[in-house]
Amino acid sequence: MEHKEQKVPQRARRNLNTTKVNEEEIIKIILDEAFHVHKTIGPGMLENVYKTCLAYRLRQRGLLVEMEKAVPVIFEEIRMECGYRADLVVERRVIADTKTIDE
């Protein structure tokens, strides 16, 4: 089952040209929202549930979020389109990969 990315209303998206957010600020927001999602939902859910909820929360905070984004792997002069998909790419600068564990 493929998840389709939802469109974010323009009013919810801040103007990236006038508001610069650095990587540390983006990471802090991602961590804050990831903890919120986990505390709210609790353990034991599928990875896709956490990922979808985290993407929603980040968009609510006004961040640009791309889900299941294809990312090429580059090693020296070799560019490989090897099928790596990042769970979330936030503000086109930070990759967030969601994981669940079995206890």
pTM of the predicted structure, to 2 decimals? 0.76
Question: Quick one: residue 94, left, alpha or beta (phi over 0 = left, psi -120 to 50 = alpha)?
Answer: beta
Residue 53 belongs to a domain: yes
Q: What is the pLDDT of residue 25?
A: 96
**Cα 100 from Cα 79, distance rounded (Å):** 30
Q: Which domain holds residue 36?
A: 21-96
- For residues 29, 35, 41 and 44, what is the CA-based torsion angle, rounded to 10 degrees? 130
Q: What are the φ/ψ torsions at residue 13 (nearest 5 degrees)? A: -95, 125
Q: What is the pLDDT of residue 65?
A: 98
Residue 3 belongs to a domain: no
Q: What is the pLDDT of residue 61?
A: 96
Low-confidence ranges of the chain (pLDDT < 70): 1-19, 103
Q: How many domains does one find in the chain? A: 1
Q: What is the pLDDT of residue 58?
A: 98
Q: What is the pLDDT of residue 17?
A: 42
Residue 13 belongs to a domain: no
Instruction: Name all contacts of 78-85 with Cβ < 8 Å and 24+ positions apart.
Output: none
Q: What is the pLDDT of residue 18?
A: 42
